[in-house]
Amino acid sequence: MELPVVRHTYERADMVRYAGASGDFNPIHWDEAFARSVGLPGVIAHGMLSMGIAARMISDLAQDPRAIKRLRVRFSAMIQPGDGLWVEGKVASVEDGRALVKFTASNGARERVLSKGEAELTLGQP
C-alpha cells in the first residue's frame, strides 16, 4: 500500500525553530559565512528535522504518534533553505499487529536526502 506523499519546503525559520527545540545550535545551520568556511554550499537543515518531517507520514498512517515503535533512516544528502522535501513510502508488511513502513525522501533536485527509511508501528492501541 502506497502512502500519501508528504511535501515540505524548508525556510530558514524552520531551522531556527528546530535549533531552539533541539538545542542544536551548530553554526552550519544558521551562519552562512561559517557554513561556507567549512566547505558547505551555505547553511543546511538539521538531518533530524528532515527525519521528523518524514515521521509525519508514519504518524498520519498510525493516527497516533505513540504507535511508532521504531524509526530509522540513513542521511544521504543536504537540504538548504528553499529546497523542497518529498517523502514517499509504502507499507511493506503487516504481521502480528505491527506494520513495517519503508520510505525515502528527496530534495528539489530529486537527490535522496533520506534513504533506507524504515518505521515499525503498532496497529490499533499503541
Q: Is residue 78 part of a domain?
A: yes
Q: What is the CATH number of the domain that holds 96?
A: 3.10.129.10
The H or E element that residue 90 is part of is strand 84-95
Does the model's pTM come out above 0.75? yes
Q: How many domains is the chain partitioned into structurally?
A: 1
Q: Is residue 82 part of a domain?
A: yes
Residues 6+ apart with CB under 8 A from 73: 51, 54, 105, 114, 115, 116, 117, 118
- Provide mean pLDDT across the span 88-113: 92
Q: Which three cell numbers stand for residue 77?
A: 544528502
What integer is the mean pLDDT of 110-115? 90
- C-alpha 87/C-alpha 110 separation (Å) is 11
36-77 pLDDT, tens digit per residue, is 999 999 999 999 999 999 999 998 888 888 999 999 999 999
Residue 124: what pLDDT? 78
Structural domain including 12 reads 6-122
State the Cα–Cα distance between residues 106 and 40, nearest whole angstrom: 19
Considering the domain boundaries, does residue 1 fall inside one? no
pLDDT > 70 fraction of the chain, expressed in percent and rounded: 98
Check whether 126 has a pLDDT greater than 70: no
| Alpha-carbon distances, residue 40 vs 16, 29, 47, 94, 106 (angstroms) | 18, 11, 15, 41, 19
